[in-house]
Chains A and B, each alone.
Chain A
Amino acid sequence: MAEQPLLRVDHLGVRYAASHAAALEDVSLSLMKGERLALIGESGSGKSTFARAIAHLLPPGAARSGDITWLALEAPPEAGRDLAFVLQDPSASLDPVMTIGEQVAEGAVAHLGLSWGEAYAHAATLLARVQLPEPEHLLKAYPHQLSGGQRQRVAIAAALAAGPSILIADEVTSALDRIVEAEIVALLDGLVRDEAMTLIFITHDIALAAKLADRISVFADGRLVEDAPAAQLLARPQAEATQRLLSAHMDLSTPSLLREVP
Chain B
Amino acid sequence: MGMMARLLRTRSGLIGACLLLVMALAALAAPVLFPGDPLAIAGPAFLPPLADTAFPLGTDSLGRDVLAGLFHGARASLAVGLAAALAALLVGLVVGTVAGFAGGWVDEVLMRITDAFQVIPRFLLALAFVSVLGGSMTTVVIAIALSSWTEPARLVRAEVLSIRERDYAAAARVIGMHPAEIAFREILPIALPPVLALSAIIVAAAIMIESALSFLGFGDPNIVTWGSMMAEGRNVLRSAPFLSVVPGIALLVTVLAVYLVSEGVNTALNNNQAVPRG
Contact = CB atoms under 8 A, between A and B. Distances in A.
B278 A48 contact: yes
A49 interface: yes
A18 B278 contact: no
B121 interface: no
A16 B274 CA distance: 13
Nearest to A16: B276
Interface string A164-177: 00000000000000
A49 B274 CA distance: 18
Interface string A107-122: 0000000000000000
Nearest to A62: B276
Interface residues of A, number: 11
Nearest to B278: A44
B276 A46 contact: no
Interface of B: 274-276, 278
Contacts, number: 15
A59 interface: yes
A23 interface: yes
A17 interface: yes
Interface in A37-81: 43-44, 46, 48-49, 59
B278 A49 contact: yes
A17 B275 CA distance: 10
Contacts of B276: 16-19, 59
A17 B274 CA distance: 12
A46 B275 CA distance: 16
B278 A46 contact: yes
A92 to B, nearest CB: 13
A44 B278 CA distance: 6
A61 to B, nearest CB: 9
Contacts of A19: 275-276
A84 B274 CA distance: 29
Interface of A: 16-19, 23, 43-44, 46, 48-49, 59
A23 B278 contact: yes
B274, B275, B278 — which one has the most chain A CB atoms within 10 A of its CB?
Answer: B278
Contacts of B274: 18
A252 B275 CA distance: 29
Nearest to B271: A18
Contacts of A23: 278
Contacts of B275: 18-19
Nearest to A49: B278
Nearest to A24: B278
A13 to B, nearest CB: 14
Contacts of A59: 276
A181 B275 CA distance: 30
15 contacts: A16-B276, A16-B278, A17-B276, A18-B274, A18-B275, A18-B276, A19-B275, A19-B276, A23-B278, A43-B278, A44-B278, A46-B278, A48-B278, A49-B278, A59-B276
Given A16-B276, A17-B276, A23-B278, 6 more contacts: A18-B275, A19-B276, A43-B278, A46-B278, A48-B278, A49-B278
A17 B276 CA distance: 9
Contacts of A16: 276, 278
B118 to A, nearest CB: 27
Contacts of A49: 278
A59 B275 CA distance: 13
Nearest to A47: B278
B275 to A, nearest CB: 7
A261 to B, nearest CB: 14
B170 to A, nearest CB: 20
A190 to B, nearest CB: 32
A49 B278 CA distance: 7
A130 B276 CA distance: 33
A46 B277 CA distance: 11
A19 B276 CA distance: 8
A78 to B, nearest CB: 26
A43 B275 CA distance: 15
A43 B277 CA distance: 10
B248 to A, nearest CB: 40
